[in-house]
Structure 1
């Protein structure tokens, strides 16, 4: 019998989850919450709260036109101006509306042909009928992507540095050095950012995926410039590869893999040379998720249909798998790269599979040892008057492979599980993380270099970044000696 969310305990009404130490979860009122009273492992980490007044308002670029009076210009000059400002489609519409007989008829014929081609493309790929933002909102790992303040969090793999994506299409870099400059990455072509990823084996490079492509920024840590120029970046684009929904660096940092919602093609980029390799298989009209295994031997790609694949990076052959219905919503690898955990957008179940064979779903469970096994039932439950669980929005595992954090689509508590590999793969209820009554979780991410155990960072809808450390005092760390000596006294003084 599968475990359910009834195994969890909720904090007392009015309190928030603060941390977990040696298996015990600590709660407190938000007004007196002081994480440093229990542990100093996060003392030097940046305190982040991005309010709406800190955001840069987006502009259309047409505001200055109101300052000038309209003048009569020649038809050719007007056509050229519309082409450079709004593109060739608007230029054709402008030409078709004029009384230039030959040009007008030719423009109307071209527009009719383009309309017919678009109808054919829509039959092949229905995703093309949706605009970029709405399509990203449907497939994003971020909850309420269209309206939330914080859209993505990415921690540097080797140091205390984090990139925060906000709804104004900016990427803010924060570090543990309070005296250093906090770079702001913003560019006019960098619209509708979906995700960011720090490059392994590098201290300065970060890739930003957006609706129309990828920008790999190179941030000089010694620079005093708060807003780096695009001259410090490499732009990666392909005309039909959009919107870019997910990307993943190889563990060695030599390759960048990207997928797009309206493109079946999977691109493997060599950033320095500007070259690409293509992985393409039928099934689905696009791809929405890609994850490189920690060992670099496997690459998971998920389409927007039943199909998902695991590629062998040694020979680039793939195993084609299918879910029973819907699509894979979120997935993550174990730290050893042999176990895959995933959830679909139609079932309230977390599945697990050992990646060895071709098939994971089969109707004959008695004769198949390589099927995906349902591990945990995350159906909605009522725990002391609070609804928890439901369909998964995002899943993340910590770098040590001991914890799994799950964020749900329409309930507000984040579930943290212990991953146990004794007698098969198991998930054990660990803790529920809740925010303030008016807050909803938007995105989650584990810190990559946290010696004391694991630490989950949560971006709340209010713009607040919360740290939830899971600490084991038996780990060999100087910080843990402080935790052990103050745990009981701090617990008595705070609670």
Structure 2
């Protein structure tokens, strides 16, 4: 891509140089049991469950352009298209080798002489880059039917860039300010939420590409965010803070109005072995994208995952709107074998959760994948009393 955009000094956000974990990001496929993990060795691991057995297979995606991975996102309503954000651009992989004419694509098969076996046998990669947009921080796909567009954010410029993976056209969305750290596209395709390093967030109307700006307290920026399935609210947390915020949409007679509310988080300590572990500062949040009844929270330097109940009606006031209530904490479990070979679960020690994501493919209940800093992935099943959403 040869689309120059205005940029200041190449700012490298601390999200790039303070991360010491092996696993940098995870993403569930929209409708099958397939989990992508970005590793610090510049490799993406694709884990896929065999539908006929409890077994999982693993294949790799690797390319010389895929350096310093920061984020990844599966394309909605697609069989196997994965966008991987890197230091200088975005690698878009098609696992089923539907090669686009004119794309700068490279088959993983061409690198068998330099990469260990295990590469995905049919994947092809197209590389998208705009000069000046380095340090890709977040990617969001347009979920609209038949759309082939994703938007990339960068910590080096306030300009977002929208790419069409079929036409290979790039369109800048220019705004003044510092770089951006986060993007989230609403499930209905009508809203794009962006959060900047300057402490401001913008909500883009994707029909008109106009935006509404929201300011955070000085020195704070949004750390993590997730949309509700009905696209009427987005939950988010801010750097160094323990409370959650909800940006909710209500329609007035003349316009769409967005309200901000706050939910107090856990401010306690828990006993983990002989240690007393403080919890509270939020690192990452994830919401069940189907039933929207559970919110999971990962904390900084904590061994537990916080769980919240989410409902569309406040049980105390009876008013409609997203209501979030703490319901408990979860510790990781490790598998242990006794003297006669029987397997059992014991509390995991010496490891802390670093990433979590709900599977979008589960219609009954929910499955939460939790990645720990010892590279163990655990799966937590949720069963709901209420009826699932249609």
Provide TM-score, normalisation by structure 1. Answer: 0.62
Aligned counterpart, 2:356: 444
2:159 aligned partner: 265
1:443-493, Cα deviation, whole Å (9 max, x unpaired):
1111111122111101111111100111136758xxxxxxxxxxxxxxxxx
Residue 338 to residue 242, structure 1, CA distance change in 2 (3 Å): same
Deviations 1:373-424 (A, max 9, x none): 2122333x12457434222111111112211111112222111101122234
Instruction: Measure, in 1, the Cα distance between the counterparts of 2:245 and 2:387.
Output: 30
How do residues 70-109 of structure 1 correspond to structure 2 at under 5 angstroms?
none
**Does the CA contact (< 8 Å) of 1:199 and 1:206 recur in 2?**
yes
In the alignment, which residue of structure 1 is the partner of 2:245?
351
- CA offsets, 1:191-231, max 9 Å, x none? 11111111122112111111111011111289996425898
Structure 1 residues 169 and 377, CA, compared in 2 at 3 Å: closer, same or farther?
Answer: same
Which residue, out of 434, 457, 460, partners 2:331? 434
Taking a change above 3 Å as real, the CA distance of residues 357 and 244 of structure 1, as seen in their structure-2 partners, is farther
Over 3 Å counting, the alpha-carbon distance change for 1:467 and 1:231 in structure 2 is closer
Query: Aligned-pair distance for 1:339?
Result: 0.8
Kindly indicate which of the two structures has a greater share of residues assigned to helix: 1
**What 5-or-longer segments of structure 2 have no aligned partner?**
1-6, 99-106, 110-117, 314-318, 333-347
1:255 to 149, 171, 175: 149
Aligned residue among 292, 298, 306 for 1:415: 306
Tell me if structure 2 keeps the 8 A contact 1:452–1:471: yes
Query: Equivalent residue for 1:101?
Result: none
Contact 1:390 1:410 in 2 (8 A): no
Question: 1:193-212, aligned counterparts within 5 Å?
Answer: 193-212=69-88
Query: Whose strand fraction is larger, Structure 1's or Structure 2's?
Result: 2
Bigger CA drift: 390-399 or 214-223?
A: 214-223
Q: Is the 8 A contact 2:94 2:125 kept in 1?
A: yes
| Cα distance between partner residues in 1 of 2:154 and 2:294 | 29
Selected match of 1:466 from 347, 361, 378: 378
Identify the residue that residue 403 of structure 1 maps to in structure 2: 294
Task: Give the one of 278, 283, 291 matched to 1:393.
Answer: 283
The separation in 1 between residues aligned to 2:108 and 2:248, in whole angstroms, is 48
Contact 2:95-2:123 within 8 A present in 1 as well: no
Q: 2:217 aligns with which of 320, 324, 328?
A: 324
TM-score between the two structures when normalised by the length of structure 2:
0.78
SS at match of 1:272: coil
User: Aligned pair 1:242/2:130, yes or no?
Assistant: no
Residues 220/214 of structure 1: CA separation in 2 closer, same or farther (3 Å cut): same
Q: Compare 215-224 and 310-319 and name the one that shifted more.
A: 215-224
- Do the aligned residues in 2 keep the contact of 1:209 with 1:247 (CA within 8 Å)? yes
Write out aligned runs for 1:37-56 (5 A). Answer: none
The structure, 1 or 2, with the larger RCO (C-alpha pairs under 8 Å, 6+ apart) is 1
Looking at structure 2, the residues matched to 224 and 194 of structure 1 have their Cα atoms a distance apart, in angstroms, of 21
Residue 259 of structure 1 aligns to a residue in which SS?
Answer: strand
- The aligned counterpart of 2:206 is 313
Does the C-alpha gap of structure 1 residues 286 and 229 become closer, same or farther in structure 2, counting only changes over 3 Å? farther
> Retained in 1: the 8 A contact 2:224–2:238?
yes
State whether residues 254 and 270 of structure 1, in contact with CA within 8 Å, keep that contact through their aligned partners in structure 2: yes
CA contact (8 A) 1:312 1:318 kept: yes
Larger Rg: 1
Partner of 1:192: 68
Q: CA–CA distance in 1 between the matches of 2:76 and 2:243? A: 32
Aligned length: 331
Q: Is the 8 A contact 1:350 1:378 kept in 2?
A: no
Of the three residues 327, 341, 346, the one matched with 2:235 is 341
Contact 2:65 2:91 in 1 (8 A): no
Deviation string for 1:266-319 (max 9, x for gaps)?
A: 011101111011111123x10010000011110000001121100001000000
Q: CA RMSD in A?
A: 2.8
Superposition map of 1:197-236 within 5 A: 197-220=73-96, 226-228=118-120, 232-236=124-128
